[in-house]
């Protein structure tokens, strides 16, 4: 496949990131994306190594900064398919401000979170989505802190596409990614990703017993809101998968870049630009 | 000719508008004008002032003495009267004029406006009218400007302003003391940040992102006002961290991108500077310093962020630091920064300060800045074989490698914050690591080759040195001596610097900070050590008169002083009003 790389990812055997990696490449292939017009943007974490394993353009940037980096690329060149991808620590802790404002401003990017409820690469500390009670290196007596709730948060902040998926169901995840790529606006996918090394609670089996494909109307805010809360009100007995909410509205890209041109393609005169027409107010 | 007009008012009373109108009128008449605003970090209350200095030749500094002072409240009178020239005029409202000074021109402002059929909002128009009358500058030029300013508000507003202007002008004419008449082609009258914005746009800036912070905010405002007039995206980001990462994203995508802030905002951006450096993504950071540390004095000036910029981000990497020494230079160098960033694929800083960023100066023209993009690849290449990446970080002779951007066929690679191989894949291989460090560092020789030599004026055994914005006041106050200024601050080319100091036996460095940061850098990089340091860190820039005074003091010691000369009481007589000595009513 055109997105394959010679190197194989080196995640722990059984890591959920493999499924996400496969689904992402397959989704890009199926929507007909070309490597030249695809940019995979990540932060830092186990899953954030993913741009190394997709043969396209990519930017493996800083921990927590997936969204602003993606936004800069997409505004400069709106013809690109820009996929931001990073972990839960990256996106919800370090990058929490960008998550809120990215959703609010409705930038035209896809944002996938590899949500394993733990810090993997830094060897097993509690993350914002670590369940209450779970023992980790930084919560040796069990986590006492409420978990961060990405899906309700995305809805409240104003995301126009909010979905959940499971790294253990590649076919479904792939379809959700395809739908996110087709969406105009901030498309957020919270992907439940088992970390076989550090998270012994949220395993593949744990998820399989709880997840189900939702069939509600994602354009209905009230139904979306109910689904967003379902895992929390059922004490994680029922976890809906699929598009939770979807409704297009104006995107920030149009506001910050009037006319939304491909700024890379706009020619630059090597002699410089005569800016006197911009300086009349100073004469 | 060297003529100064000062406007003093409570915040919100229009000192800046009045001053800028005057500055623009004289710039239109072909004069060199320097406009200098001062204000506290308050929206209401506190005292604002604006000095307009008019000259036949280039001027890059305010001066202490004023020929005309316009005061809009009693505080303003108290603050500024000391700076009035012996034969000056202070225009003041009769209601609070002390009436003890024969230089007072006390006017019943409210009555005059009423008689002319205007309202009190036109107080500033009246005072500008009086001022022009005093110097015999044509009233028609003010009338023309009033039409431009108030045209959108309807004919009645324009006419009322014109009547009030005329009433003021007649009074001024009755007391006419000077003769200033238009003498040439109109000049642009532009603030430092606006000049930076224009320079960047001339050099092809396509993306700017920022978060409000004084004194960099006006660059954000200016660029936003140009959105839609040329291909340009400007993002007001959620924070400075977002701002710099957005700019890096845009630069990676292949457009000329810049972000800007003051020291506090830049502190937040720091980590991303290293990303730009390691991924070799061309990035320009515009940093307008203010008085620190921390929140400091937000609306005052200082040159104390030099080491912050030099040390920003972990690890070792090349960066270029430019410090424009005047407003016209801010136009040119901000544009050049975009060239340097793309040619060498390194972070470039434009280091200015409140003094330069918010003062106004005149420019004859805005010559387009030629664009050099370095080895960027914008056209499709041959398709790469499957399973292959483009060697984005190829080890080249110059250290700079061809850079295809997304959208280009065959250029697939990643920009990455990890150490990487030539084909951009992450590596921890020692040989690859060393090869990439050497490759990046190899750019230094080429950067030094292109670096600007110091600006040198005059000659003699004593060299007076300034960097960045302080060149204006320091050069003016050091006319008797050899003068050297640095607009290219880092990295320094030893040979070029040494050449500038040829024949010099004594070196005096003036810096707008408390520890002589640039002097330390100069010593570190070239071994050149100043014989005396003059440091001012009150929140104001130097005044030419202070520079002169400090040099007189140093002359007695043959320009050698083991301890730095600091701002002391005896400097104060060369200052504007000292706001800290007065209580604002
Ligand atoms: S530590 Fe966890 S998240 Fe990281 S690679 Fe291993 S299984 Fe995956």
Give the nearest chain A residue to B364 (CA atoms).
Answer: A283
Mean pLDDT of B68-79: 92
Is the full-model pTM beyond 0.95? yes
Domain around A216: 17-282
A116 ligand 1 Cβ < 6 A? yes
Same domain, B510 and B553: yes
Task: Please tell me if the CB atom of residue A18 comes closer than 6 angstroms to any atom of ligand 1.
Answer: no
Given this model, what pLDDT does residue B580 score? 52
In a domain, residue A4? The reply is no
Burial class (CB in 10 A: 0-12, 13-18, 19+), A158: middle
**B436 occurs within a structural domain:** yes
Q: pLDDT band for position B579 (50/70/90)?
A: low
Using 50, 70 and 90 to split pLDDT, how confident is the model at B46? confident
Residues B297 and B249 in one domain: yes
pLDDT digits (tens, 9 = 90+) for B207-218: 999 999 999 999
Any atom of ligand 1 within 6 Å of the Cβ of A50: no
CA dihedral for B375, B376, B382, B384, sign (positive or negative): positive
Whether B253 and A276 lie within 8 Å, measured CB to CB: no
pLDDT of B584 reads: 42
A11 Cα nearest atom in ligand 1:
5
Residue owning the nearest CA to atom 2 of ligand 1: A195
A:B CB pairs within 8 Å: 236
Q: Confirm whether A267 is domain-assigned.
A: yes
Query: Considering the domain boundaries, does residue A216 fall inside one?
Result: yes
Residue B35 has pLDDT above 60, yes or no: yes
Please identify, among B313, B329, B363, the residue that sits at the C-terminal boundary of a domain.
B363
Strand partners, A240: A212
pLDDT tens digits, one per residue of A250-276: 999 999 999 999 999 999 999 999 999
Residue B135 belongs to domain with CATH number:
3.40.920.10
**How many domains does chain B divide into?**
4
Residues of B in contact with A39 (CB under 8 A): 253, 406
A residues 67..126 contacting B (CB < 8 A)? 67-77, 79-80, 97-98, 100-101
For ligand 1, whether the C-beta of A196 sits within 6 Å is yes
Considering the domain architecture, whether residues B211 and B323 belong to the same structural domain is answered as yes
Q: Per the domain annotation, does A5 fall within a domain?
A: no
Give percent of chain A above pLDDT 90. 100
- Do B344 and B389 sit in the same domain of this protein? no
What ipTM, to 2 d.p.?
A: 0.98
The reply to whether B182 falls in a domain is: no
Q: Is any atom of ligand 1 closer than 6 Å to the C-beta of A125?
A: no
**What is the DSSP secondary structure assignment for residue A136, as one 8-state letter?**
B
Separation of alpha carbons B452 and A274, rounded Å: 24
Contact call for A71 and B249, based on CB within 8 A = yes
Average pLDDT over residues A26-44: 98
On whether residue A268 sits in a domain, the answer given is yes
Confirm whether B61 is domain-assigned: yes
Looking up tokens 């900064």 gives A65
Asked if the structure places residue B368 within a domain, the reply is no
Nearest by CB to A73, from B253, B335, B368: name it.
B253
In this structure, are B243 and B301 located in the same domain?
A: yes
The answer to whether residues B390 and B411 belong to one domain is yes
Residue B526 Cα to ligand 1 middle (Å): 50
Is B579 among the domain residues? no
Mutate to test the interface with B, among A256, A266, A271, A280 (most CBs of B within 10 A): A256
Ligand 1 centroid to Cα of residue A15, in Å, is 5
Q: Which two tokens stand for residue B205?
A: 């800036």
Query: With 50 as the cut, is the pLDDT of residue B585 above it?
Result: no
Across the range A81-107, mean pLDDT stands at 98
Q: What is the CATH number of the domain that holds A239?
A: 3.40.50.970
The rounded distance, in Å, linking the Cα atoms of B391 and A262 is 25
DSSP collapsed to 3 states, B214-261: CCCHHHHHHHHHHECCECCEEEECCCHHHHHHHHHHHHHHCCEEEEEE
* CB proximity list for A280: less than 8 A, separation 6 or greater: none
User: pLDDT digit string (tens) for B225-265?
Assistant: 999 999 999 999 999 999 999 999 999 999 999 999 999 99
Nearest CA to ligand 1 atom 6: A12
pLDDT category at B572 given cuts 50, 70, 90 is: confident
State which residues form the domain around B272: 190-363
What mean pLDDT do residues B379-393 have? 97
Among A272, A277, A280, A281, the strongest candidate for a mutation testing the B interface, having the largest count of B CBs within 10 A, is A272
Protein residue whose Cα sits closest to atom 5 of ligand 1: A11
How many folded domains does chain A comprise? 1
- Residue B36 belongs to a domain: yes
B168 & B208 share domain: no
């Amino acid at each position: 496949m055109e997105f394959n790389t010679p190197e194989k990812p080196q995640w722990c055997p059984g890591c959920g990131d493999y499924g996400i990696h496969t689904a992402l490449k397959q989704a890009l292939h199926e929507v007909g994306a070309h490597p030249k017009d695809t940019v995979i943007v990540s932060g830092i974490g186990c899953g954030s190594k993913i741009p190394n394993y997709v043969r396209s353009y990519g930017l493996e940037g800083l921990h927590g900064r997936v969204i602003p980096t993606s936004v800069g690329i997409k505004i400069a060149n709106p013809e690109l398919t820009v996929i931001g991808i990073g972990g839960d620590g990256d996106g919800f802790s370090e990058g929490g401000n960008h998550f809120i404002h990215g959703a609010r401003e409705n930038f035209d990017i896809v944002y996938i979170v590899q949500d394993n409820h733990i810090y993997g690469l830094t060897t097993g500390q509690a993350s914002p989505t670590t369940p209450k009670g779970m023992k980790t290196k930084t919560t040796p007596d069990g986590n006492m802190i409420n978990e961060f709730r990405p899906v309700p948060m995305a809805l409240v902040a104003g995301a126009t596409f909010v979905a959940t998926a499971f790294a253990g169901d590649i076919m479904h995840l792939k379809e959700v990614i395809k739908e996110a790529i087709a969406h105009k606006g901030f498309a957020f996918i919270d992907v439940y990703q088992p970390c076989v090394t550090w998270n012994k609670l949220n395993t593949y089996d744990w998820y399989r017993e709880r997840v189900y494909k939702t069939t509600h109307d994602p354009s209905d805010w009230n139904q979306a809101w109910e689904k967003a809360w379902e895992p929390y009100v059922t004490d994680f007995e029922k976890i809906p998968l699929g598009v939770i909410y979807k409704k297009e509205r104006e995107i920030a890209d149009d506001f910050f870049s009037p006319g939304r041109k491909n700024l890379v393609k706009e020619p630059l005169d090597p002699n410089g630009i005569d800016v006197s027409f911009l300086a009349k107010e100073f004469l | 000719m060297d003529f100064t007009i000062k406007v003093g008012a409570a915040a919100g009373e229009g000192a800046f508008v009045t001053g800028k109108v005057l500055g623009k009128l004289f710039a239109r008449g072909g004069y060199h004008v320097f406009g200098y605003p001062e204000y506290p970090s308050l929206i209401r209350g506190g005292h604002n002032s604006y000095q307009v200095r008019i000259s036949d030749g280039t001027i890059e500094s305010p001066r202490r003495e004023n020929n005309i002072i316009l005061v809009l409240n009693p505080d303003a009178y108290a603050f500024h009267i000391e700076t009035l020239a012996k034969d000056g005029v202070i225009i003041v409202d009769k209601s609070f004029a002390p009436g003890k000074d024969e230089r007072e021109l006390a006017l019943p402002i409210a009555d005059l406006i009423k008689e002319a059929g205007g309202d009190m909002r036109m107080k500033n128009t009246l005072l500008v009218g009086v001022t022009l009358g005093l110097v015999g500058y044509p009233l028609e030029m003010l009338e023309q400007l009033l039409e431009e300013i108030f045209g959108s508000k309807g004919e009645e507003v324009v006419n009322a302003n014109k009547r009030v202007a005329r009433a003021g002008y007649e009074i001024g004419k009755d007391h006419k003391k000077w003769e200033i008449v238009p003498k040439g082609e109109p000049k642009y009258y532009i603030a430092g940040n606006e000049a930076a914005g224009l320079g960047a746009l001339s050099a092809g800036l396509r993306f700017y992102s920022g978060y409000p912070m004084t004194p960099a905010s006006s660059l954000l405002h200016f660029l936003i006002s140009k959105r839609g007039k040329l291909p340009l995206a400007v993002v007001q980001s959620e924070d400075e961290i977002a701002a710099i990462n957005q700019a890096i994203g845009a630069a990676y995508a292949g457009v000329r991108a810049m972000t800007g802030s003051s020291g506090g905002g830049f502190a937040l951006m720091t980590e991303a500077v290293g990303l730009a450096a390691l991924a070799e993504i061309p990035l320009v950071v515009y940093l307008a310093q203010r008085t620190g540390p921390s929140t400091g004095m937000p609306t005052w000036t200082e040159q104390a962020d030099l080491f912050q910029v030099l040390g920003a981000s972990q690890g070792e990497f090349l960066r270029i630091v430019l410090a424009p020494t005047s407003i016209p230079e801010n136009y040119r160098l901000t544009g050049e920064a975009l060239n340097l960033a793309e040619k060498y694929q390194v972070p470039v800083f434009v280091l200015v300060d409140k003094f330069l960023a918010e003062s106004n100066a005149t420019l004859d023209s805005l010559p387009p800045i030629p664009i050099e993009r370095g080895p960027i690849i914008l056209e499709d290449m041959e398709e790469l074989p499957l399973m292959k990446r483009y060697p984005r970080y190829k080890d080249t002779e110059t250290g700079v490698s061809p850079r295809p951007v997304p959208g280009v066929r065959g250029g697939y690679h990643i920009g990455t914050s990890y150490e990487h191989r030539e084909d951009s894949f992450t590596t921890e291989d020692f040989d690859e690591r060393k090869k990439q460090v050497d490759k990046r560092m190899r750019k230094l020789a080429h950067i030094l080759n292109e670096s600007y030599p110091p600006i040198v004026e005059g000659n003699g055994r004593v060299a007076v040195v300034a960097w960045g914005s302080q060149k204006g006041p320091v050069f003016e106050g050091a006319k008797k001596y050899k003068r050297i200024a640095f607009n290219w601050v880092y990295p320094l080319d030893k040979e070029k610097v040494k050449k500038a100091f040829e024949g010099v036996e004594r070196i005096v460095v003036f810096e707008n900070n408390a520890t002589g940061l640039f002097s330390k850098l100069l010593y570190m990089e070239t071994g050149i050590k100043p014989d005396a340091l003059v440091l001012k860190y009150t929140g104001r820039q130097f005044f030419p008169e202070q520079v002169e005074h400090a040099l007189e003091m140093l002359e007695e010691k043959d320009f050698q002083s083991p301890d730095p000369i600091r701002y002391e009481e005896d400097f104060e007589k060369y200052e504007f009003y000292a706001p800290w000595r007065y209580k604002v009513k």
